[in-house]
Chains A and B, each alone.
Chain A
Amino acid sequence: MAVKKASLKEKYRLMTRGLDWETTYQPMDKVFPYDKYEGIKIKDWDKWEDPFRLTMDAYWKYQAEKERKLYAILDSFSQNNGQLNLSDARYLTAIKLWMQGITPLEYAAHRGFSHVGRQFRGAGARVACQMQALDELRHAQTQMHAFSHYNKYFSGFHQANHMRDRAWYLSIPKSFFEDAMTAGPFEFVTSISFAFEYVLTNLLFMPFVSGAAYNGDVATTTFGFSAQSDESRHMTLGLEVVKFVLEQHEDNVPIMQRYIDKWFWRGYRLLALVGTMMDYMLPKKVMSWAEAWGVYWEENGLALFNDLSRYGIRLPKYHEIATKEKLHITHQAWMVFYTACPATAFHAWLPQPYEMDWLSEKYGETFDRFYRPRFEKFGDLEKAGKRFYTNRLPLVCQTCQIPDFFTEVDNPMKQAVRHSEWRGMKFNFCSDGCKDIFVNEPEKFCQAYIPPQQIYQGNAGGARTLAEYAAWLRCGMGTESGDYYSSDDYANWLKWHGERDTTPSSSAAAQP
């Protein structure tokens, strides 16, 4: 008997929605208990447009092919000692931060999408979340594999899991994702799929992958290309979710607006770390944070929200603050890393003269007036043999968990801080954006695990000072931690290059 083969479209329909049914032994509300409590009203799940249109068997085939190519390149990279062709070993600070801070987020995304992939009663949404869950698990694994080669030659890669639950700077990405994962399913997809993957992802992915390419990191560049097609599916999902929910019921608009406000601000705060990578960690620069913000937010982001205005959605609250801050935050964040690097599992350093020139060129008066004097003062202290490290724990924002290095947008000399009281207790924040998020959900954010406060309460092995805390992190000065130019990484780098310092000496070499 001749078997008629289904077309791709038909096959997709049969394998996704065709497998779905209305439950009868148990009411649907009991089978899907979480997709109504947020107040989001869905009248017709069939209106969901599937963004992926991929069946499971096609997915496996396609991804297996990509991974074969990826692992072939990773093998040849390690067999040919690819680490020696990096622009400079300073570059690896970016990759260490990625391995410690972002790779665990890929895994957290896998868990989050697995969870909501069970919770939506619409089959189309469930299938999309399931596939993204698989993508994210692959991203975590392939990143670890791509970076593992560096672990043989450099410090700071070997204990990402130990660091993740303890390091102050990793509580920033960790708490970001835990906030999303403990929210309702609609807030989760708005936060991760829309705000992060759709609106802000270009600010994360583009600089990371091009930065790797410019700095000779073939392993990471190849990972980036292998994840690119996944990312474009994730972006499609993010936009589809938001449009679908907004079209379903007008009561959904204010709820979605609050989610967008919250997650734009949280995502933007998290990206301060990426901006710092672009401006300070890459020996060969790709573009500045301010330029990236201009292209990806001020042009593309604003255009997107123009489109969304027909649904009654306005621009995210405080977006204009983010734009004003673009000239400051990366310099301020690098100051924190420079002064606190005895307690980080990566190295920091003073910008080289060619980098100071590049920063002046990109940031003009802002850099020369406010930030150059600090670096020059630190340079003087270094020359006098008194390299400055801070020994005090900082105020950390109750919401975003970033040490509060922010200043007022109209006065970069003035420390920014905001306060709120709840049930008789005081809480402090870096910004109005973070304060608003707390005021909407104090029951949640009062539980935040703020590293300096945990240290003072005795929950970091009894440490009271930054040095005792670093020991508890298993970070040693010169190995995992401290200034790059007094590190083992630097000493080894010189040895492997016949004592030749590869630090680029002009920004001309850095142009793409």
Chain B
Amino acid sequence: MGMVTIGAYDFPPADRIENYGGDINLYCCWEHHLLVPCPAAYRLPPDITLRDFLEQMFKPDHDHHPEMKLLDYAKLRWTLDSKPWQPALDKSLRDNGVTHMSYLSFYQPGLDGIAGSGV
């Protein structure tokens, strides 16, 4: 159903990719680890590899977490926009099909946070 308006009503999205100077916005979440209470937003170039993103940006944000040292990339179960997904860690975000405003999440079975409480 379209919007009911008093006249022509057509405006571009405020967060369109053109506003990011060649970068994209990416969201990422480590399931069952809510000590950082929201999925984080990253502005980054689409040709960074998934591994570099994890090593350089994601991991430092969670280095206070005792389970970080148990993280094993081989065991991760990924989703892209909440659908099951098999990424190649050494390929770029672009080649992995990650686009502007994509939402990534991963879960490692057995890692359920402090005292199994999801944090």
Contacts and interface: CB of A to CB of B under 8 A. Distances in A.
A428 interface: yes
B36 interface: yes
A404 B39 contact: yes
Interface in B66-97: 81-82
B82 A417 contact: yes
B82 A336 contact: no
A34 B6 CA distance: 8
B38 A374 contact: no
B101 A413 contact: no
Contacts of A377: 35, 114, 119
Interface string A374-412: 100100010000101011111110000001110100001
Given A374-B117, A393-B41, A444 B31 contact: no
Contacts, number: 148
Nearest to B2: A443
B102 A426 contact: yes
Contact of B19 (A339, A370, A457, A464): A457
Given A414-B31, A426-B99, A447 B112 contact: no
A413 B41 contact: no
B100 to A, nearest CB: 7
A339 B35 CA distance: 9
B26 to A, nearest CB: 10
A444 B114 CA distance: 41
A450 B34 contact: no
A335 B100 CA distance: 28
A39 interface: yes
B36 A373 contact: no
A464 B27 CA distance: 15
Interface in B1-26: 1-6, 9-17, 19-20, 25
Contacts of A423: 13
A76 to B, nearest CB: 43
B37 interface: yes
Interface in A398-450: 403-405, 407, 412-415, 417-419, 423, 425-428, 440-444, 446-450
Interface residues of A, number: 57
A417 B103 CA distance: 9
B118 A370 contact: yes
B39 A370 contact: no
A130 interface: no
B82 A450 contact: no
B101 A443 contact: no
B51 interface: no
Contacts of A403: 37-38
A415 B15 contact: no
Contacts of B16: 425
Given A34-B6, A440-B1, A450-B15, A428 B105 contact: no
Contacts of B10: 443
A211 to B, nearest CB: 24
Contact of B112 (A405, A413, A418, A444): A413
B48 interface: no
A395 B103 CA distance: 9
A184 interface: yes
16 contacts: A33-B6, A339-B36, A370-B117, A373-B117, A373-B119, A395-B29, A395-B103, A405-B37, A414-B32, A419-B82, A426-B100, A427-B101, A443-B9, A456-B25, A456-B41, A457-B15
Interface of A: 33-34, 37-39, 184, 332, 335-336, 339, 369-370, 373-374, 377, 381, 386, 388, 390-396, 403-405, 407, 412-415, 417-419, 423, 425-428, 440-444, 446-450, 452-454, 456-457, 464
Interface of B: 1-6, 9-17, 19-20, 25, 27, 29, 31-32, 34-43, 61, 64, 81-82, 99-103, 105, 112-115, 117-119
Given A336-B38, A413-B113, A428-B101, 16 more contacts: A370-B117, A373-B115, A377-B35, A388-B35, A390-B37, A394-B40, A415-B29, A415-B105, A425-B16, A426-B101, A441-B3, A442-B3, A443-B5, A447-B14, A453-B41, A456-B20
